[in-house]
Structure 1
């Protein structure tokens, strides 16, 4: 048994890595257990074939859907977690997202704390993750106590044209908030080179503001913080009363090791955190740790999303494409009185991503494959799926993840798609040349994409309907917390990463007060 720690953190992604960064200067003994290793820096980091076709960095895990069909989830286990591959789009949830909100398909529940509680932590999160943006452009933007810490990333010519064309038809495009190490005023001091390999790729030059680069590595400068890699946590054990986690049991390089901590924080991702709690069932917690309410694993959400490319009448030689967002329809419009969602750009298409893709055959002989990529303008639409108790994670007899998920609230996605596509002719696009980016985005099996996963251990004030209290401590245990997107009661329609980061800072302050 290793020496006792003040805090043990399971996972080093947006939640766990950020929390480690917050706690490290305190002098408290902190242990971070990361299932993966450092992501190797190699030329394949920027290879679309290696990343999207060969799945070089995707876990070999096998999960199962509700019918028992096996699939390979698009998850990555490295220091920094999912942020190593995210597109660094760092949005705040809208202020109304924290309240009960009526949707076409049902109701999105209120959070137990309001936007006002999160606002100062959003500001700190934007500073830590070096977010570039511009206040005042986005009509749905929530109030903020400070400007973005860095100026917005400029649009390249084709995206600037799109920005101008959207403005001309009466819409309000804005500079998307991006977490990258880019200094356009002083290129010599800029780590980012504005390459096309950001969204979905690891960054070879460490210019993306991921949890590894901006949180974990700086935290390791403090001797009181220890990072143990290749350490997959298998279960949590409690004292005889069942109220206190006493031991974290992990497989470390193939051998079982046990760790003691005064406080244990699980931040393994919404799916794996729920898996860990369920796998830690004991006599006091026969249905899984913190699961007396039978809420662990329920209410899984991960956004209704659609990625597609439109073929531009002019070439699109943009390299860094994720600079534009559109939220005019976020809460609906005069023709659809329900929230729709967010429009943003997705990383630039390249020809190797579409080798053998049947959906582009309809374009031949008008366009060759390289021409499609050269003219592609890539869109990502994101709308809210609603928490449903039967959309849930359970364990198979062998202890593997089973995700049972039935899509809901799909009409807003179709409405948003039609509002974007009906403008294409005005935006310099071929209106009849639309290609779904299903294959390499891994959206062909809905649960397999599992990006933006959230909601499996939601927080609330009522132990009968939630797993965690408003401080993200388990209702049923005195020293167990969760600090990933599992705590979300609802997911809104923007990328969840900044909210996870902000909450980790909030939980960090609570733990610092608790520890003294």
Structure 2
């Protein structure tokens, strides 16, 4: 039979955009479908109200989260999360691929090891770092996680003055500071004080839109549909997937298209929703289950003088000494990194009491923030579901062990600020927040057994050989770093398989 395309890809983020690049570059006829629009209003790039309060570039759907209606801080534009992320592209630990080494008390035996190892993915990390032109410091080692064998493709700028001071404080607290690796072109970067959640004004951020999609649109192999909802995958009487139903979100028109291969990359929420709508739930009862995002901790230090963080990008430092625990606390944690404070409106929104804007601006100029990532353990009851009316329902509670580790991490982060001579420190843990769901993973995990996993080791549905899921949902556990680079690398790995079948 004839097909409209070789591959139809749903979602344009770290997974979908990367797969689209790999397939179209290989000469495949590819359609990339994105439910959001191309965000091009550069006047909004540092408008805190429009970006973070009104969430103009975020997913426009209301989700039922633990019984409450809310909008989440997940991207809703072309490029998916890569269009709004903070740009840290860092490799995980090789032990992240063997979670049973640290979580044997908490995980069933079949989740102790991934069906692939770090070494299987290593060459694709190399390719992803080149593709997204990652900037990093090749002069220092990063403890407990993996780094490029031949160094980062691009250099990072020198530390800001306040970070030179903070670097000494991290060292004095007993940790090993390093310069974060970024998917940012620092030759173009304007050093905006806020980055995550804001649209980049001059395309310095390594989004799939800028680095991959727009380049491919010029060669004719890639077609793009934005503001288009993938309602469901269509099957024939024998259960084989034969098409996809697409709906134009502006006109409501329905279009049915066919391809040799269908690739879901709509994120750890979006992809299971499409599978559930399509009735493609497999034999494991795991589609939509094990919904994870990092728990973690956050500490803020307030200083007597201005830090410069309100005027320039100072997100530069990280440390990973506690990634695998230590003798005093033998529990796996993750990356700690500095993060920017978005602005006075965000400070006001996060506090449980009213704060005058002038005071919020005063605090903004005198504060620094460090966050520590803690893996959210997979739990079957944490899930994405569909209500009878099609409502997307999210159920999520952090495991007590996640919260226990986060509280310890918070105390360590506050120690850093005390070493930096902050006049006051404040800390919170991630279990207090149901809106900032960073680094979603786990809802379509891969494995070798179709009774305990949704995907096979090549991220193909166990019972449907022409359907792949290539986003953060494939991960059995959530890693101790941002999953972005791992999603990109895995997308390149899986694309090698897809090329052979389409």
The alignment's TM-score, normalised by the length of structure 2, stands at 0.92
> How many residues of Structure 1 are paired with residues of Structure 2 in the alignment?
490
Q: Where does residue 459 of structure 2 map in the other structure?
A: 472
In the TM superposition, what is the alpha-carbon distance from 1:235 to its structure 2 partner?
0.4
Tell me the equivalent position of 1:187: none
Is the 1:153–1:323 Cα contact (8 Å) retained in structure 2?
no
* Counterpart residue number, 1:90: 89
Residue 250 in structure 1 maps to residue 250 in structure 2: no
Shift of 1:58: 2.7
> Are 1:12 and 2:12 counterparts?
yes
**Match for residue 168 of structure 1?**
172
Residues 1:274 and 2:282 aligned together: no
Following the alignment from structure 2 to structure 1, what is the Cα–Cα distance between the partners of residues 105 and 284?
Answer: 25
Question: Whole-Å Cα distance in 2 between the matches of residues 358 and 478 of structure 1?
Answer: 50
| Deviation string, structure 1 residues 430-480 (Cα, Å, up to 9, x no partner) | 2x3426599xxxx8542x323211100000011110011111111000100
For structure 2, the residue ranges without an aligned partner over 5 or more in a row are none
**2:343 counterpart (334, 339, 350):** 350
Query: Which of 117, 132, 136 in structure 2 is aligned with 1:114?
Result: 117
RMSD of equivalent CA atoms: 2.2
SS in 2 for 1:449: coil
Q: Are 1:78 and 2:77 an aligned pair?
A: yes
CA deviation map 1:28-56 (0-9, x unaligned): 11111111111123311211122122222
Distance 2:131 2:476 in 1: 25
| Correspondence for 2:318 | 325
- Does 1:482 find its partner at 2:486? no
Q: Distance in 2 between matches of 1:105 and 1:368?
A: 47
Unaligned ranges ≥5, structure 1: 183-189, 282-288
Task: Map 1:78-477 onto structure 2 (within 5 A).
Answer: 78-99=77-98, 100-103=100-103, 106-107=106-107, 109-135=112-138, 136-142=140-146, 144-182=148-186, 190-242=187-239, 244-252=240-248, 253=250, 254-281=252-279, 289-318=280-309, 319-355=312-348, 358=351, 368-408=359-399, 409-430=402-423, 432-434=424-426, 445-446=433-434, 448-477=435-464
In structure 2, C-alpha distance between the alignment counterparts of 1:358 and 1:165, rounded to whole Å: 27
CA offset digits 1:231-281 (Å, max 9, x no partner)? 100000112211x31110010231100010000000001111000000002
Q: 1:236 to 1:313 in 2, by over 3 A?
A: same
Stretches (4+) displaced over 6 A: none
User: 1:513 deviation in Å?
Assistant: 2.9
Preserved CA contact (<8 Å) 1:309 1:437:
no
- Residues in 2 aligned to 1:390 and 1:151: alpha-carbon distance in whole angstroms: 44
SS of residue in 2 equivalent to 1:83:
helix
- SS of 2:102's partner is strand
In structure 2, relative to structure 1, the CA distance for the partners of 1:383 and 1:436 (3 Å cut) is: closer
Q: Give the TM-score taking structure 1 as reference length.
A: 0.90
State how far apart, in whole Å, the 2-side matches of 1:411 and 1:92 are.
25
Distance in structure 1 (CA, Å) of the matches to 2:123 and 2:50: 40
Report how far residue 101 of structure 1 moved. Answer: 2.9
Q: Distance in 1 between matches of 2:209 and 2:486?
A: 17
1:62-91: CA deviation from partner (whole Å, max 9, x where unpaired): 21134x332222233211012111101111
Alpha-carbon distance in structure 2 between the residues aligned to 1:262 and 1:304: 39
Distance 1:35 1:413 in 2: 35
Which whole-Å CA distance do the structure 1 matches of 2:388 and 2:373 have between them? 34
SS state at 1:477 partner: coil
Superposed displacement of residue 404, structure 1: 1.4
Q: Distance in 1 between matches of 2:471 and 2:121?
A: 15
Contact 1:309–1:435 (Cα < 8 Å) also in 2: yes
State how far apart, in whole Å, the 1-side matches of 2:339 and 2:219 are: 37
Structure 2 CA distance for partners of 1:356 and 1:117, relative to 1, 3 Å: closer
